[in-house]
A and B are shown apart, each in its own frame.
Chain A
């Protein structure tokens, strides 16, 4: 997301600074109330029993340990699937024209707008015991719902648009000329992709990965429906937080929540750094495009 604007501007047309001051105060107030205070609180509450207590809550409880492990295995797999999908879909949409292209692009957005619970339910209707594939899966003795594969599928669904939506604008903006040049120079498809395309999209790709990962770790609704919420087996971190909350074990719940919050902050920092890189590269791209002698 964009940084505060730093482009050179004329002395702005400003209203009285009293109004400005009021607006700034209001903005700070809103952000403080809705975002900052909760963020501060989660760390405060997590450390209510001191660092020892925080650590104990995380490490001593086997179900909580499992939840951490589960989240840290489900999320990367879902993200990896979405990276492969995102790259393929972006290449397809940005470099070729074919009937149905617009429809396809709008399908990418569907996971964004559908409630995660609805998504989870749809998956249950397919993979659940009474679902479409229920009998087949039972016969194969494959568990999808109430098991790890189901979690991966659900998480992949909700994070589907994130990588692809990052890559398409970048690929459309840079255009196919570099890749076509590589083709005329004799490069194979794979060589074109690895030597020319990938370096050009790497920051957008990283940005998408960071967003997808953050979303994957935090996903609740779809995973809730699909997992059966079986403690120690199919509870991811957010689900574990909820279970602890239901059991009135608030300090433990807060401790785990603070881990999630910490991971979210790490994601935000990574996102910020990547966005700076993207902005710098964007400037370079404009420079290369400029007509006439630049230097």
Chain B
């Protein structure tokens, strides 16, 4: 059709008769809204909202001064330091290792790749207590790994290093599995174009690949950090739990609980909670951005 001007608005054909009857917005067509809403709310409120609210309320009842006294003792500060420090180191290491593993799984065909892929999920299924137990057994002087590490001066068990090692274990699946699909769906055309234009492998990686996978890598780091901050079961076995040296915040909370020092335990728990929730928000934002760039970008 060859149109030359914008169409005029056409008037309705039939004049309206009768009174339109106004109704409320219709009810859902699919059944089950009421039941599922009730069950879901019940569970979420009683299991998530109320417990955490009670926790925060209890901490708040200390008053700002009381809270600070409880949450900011020297030992607590040391515990935060150990938690944050070890978690960050572990997250960095885990991200690097995870990137290598993800790359290899996604790009390099080799015999046994499927097996390697299957092992990556082990930390998700293995109880953390088992991990902690085994790591401490491995890295002591008599252990399989300690036997040649300890003489070299590397103390894996009952040390800060031990914490980092075990946190790498628990966070590895996250750093691998977030990055792996992104690498798998990279646009090969862009890389080939770069090579044809004369870029070296390293340049191609730096300029074409790295920017594409950066969001996933950062997301993986954040998830590893979040996972590590809250970890308790494995660290308890391997750190030696020495206050001011290798005591992480969760361990301190438990110690205070066992002394019935509820106020202090609650205060420290709230600090940890705030940190975790902040990280949760960051991760959600990162994942949202990741999904957006995957939809609009290189796949």
A: which residues have CB within 8 A of B?
A: 1-5, 9-10, 12-13, 15-16, 19-20, 23-24, 26-28, 30-31, 34-39, 41-42, 45, 81, 84-85, 88-89, 91-93, 95-96, 98, 104, 106-119, 121-126, 130, 132, 153, 156-157, 160, 176, 179-180, 183, 188-189, 192-193, 211, 214-215, 217-221, 224-225, 237-239, 241-242, 245, 250, 253-254, 257, 260-261, 264-265, 267-268, 271-272
Contact B120–A242 (Cβ < 8 Å): no
**Which residues of B lie under 8 Å from residue A9 when comparing CB positions?**
188
14 sampled A-B residue pairs with Cβ under 8 A:
A3-B117, A13-B204, A27-B100, A27-B104, A39-B126, A110-B277, A113-B283, A115-B249, A115-B276, A218-B126, A237-B127, A260-B126, A260-B129, A260-B130
What's the minimum C-beta distance from B202 to chain A, rounded to whole angstroms? 8
Dominant secondary structure at the A interface: helix
B35 contacts the other chain (CB 8 A): yes
Contact A31–B116 (Cβ < 8 Å): yes
What's the minimum C-beta distance from B47 to chain A, rounded to whole angstroms? 5
Contact B54–A4 (Cβ < 8 Å): no
Which A-chain residue is minimally distant from B201 (CB atoms)? Answer: A15
Contact with A along B260-284 (1 / 0, CB 8 A): 0010011001001100110110011
What's the minimum C-beta distance from A282 to chain B, rounded to whole angstroms? 14
Contact B284–A88 (Cβ < 8 Å): no
What's the minimum C-beta distance from B162 to chain A, rounded to whole angstroms? 13
Query: Which of B47, B100, B130, B257 is most buried by chain A, counting CB atoms within 10 A of its CB?
Result: B130
Count A/B pairs, Cβ under 8 Å.
293
B85 contacts the other chain (CB 8 A): no
Q: Indicate whether A35 sits within 8 Å of B119 (C-beta atoms), given known contacts A13-B191, A107-B44, A220-B232.
A: yes
Contact B39–A88 (Cβ < 8 Å): yes
B125 contacts the other chain (CB 8 A): yes
| Contacting residue for A189 out of B32, B119, B262, CB 8 A | B32
B49 contacts the other chain (CB 8 A): yes
B103 contacts the other chain (CB 8 A): yes
| Contacting residue for A268 out of B114, B122, B129, B249, CB 8 A | B122
Contact A107–B49 (Cβ < 8 Å): yes
A98 to B28, CA, bound (A): 11
Besides the known contacts A31-B116, A92-B33, A106-B280, 17 further A-B residue pairs in the complex with CB atoms under 8 A apart: A13-B192, A27-B105, A27-B116, A28-B112, A34-B97, A35-B169, A38-B169, A115-B273, A117-B253, A118-B276, A189-B31, A218-B125, A218-B129, A218-B233, A220-B129, A241-B130, A253-B133
A282 to B172, CA, bound (A): 27
Contact A118–B269 (Cβ < 8 Å): yes
B168 contacts the other chain (CB 8 A): yes
Which B-chain residue is minimally distant from A269 (CB atoms)? Answer: B118
Contact A238–B134 (Cβ < 8 Å): no
Contact B134–A126 (Cβ < 8 Å): no
| Contacting residue for A12 out of B48, B107, B127, B232, CB 8 A | B107
Which B-chain residue is minimally distant from A71 (CB atoms)? Answer: B127
**Which residues of B lie under 8 Å from residue A253 when comparing CB positions?**
133
A114 to B105, CA, bound (A): 30
| Contacting residue for A193 out of B32, B229, B250, CB 8 A | B32
Contact B133–A241 (Cβ < 8 Å): yes
Contact B130–A257 (Cβ < 8 Å): yes
Query: Which of B32, B117, B279 is most buried by chain A, counting CB atoms within 10 A of its CB?
Result: B32
Contact A272–B237 (Cβ < 8 Å): no
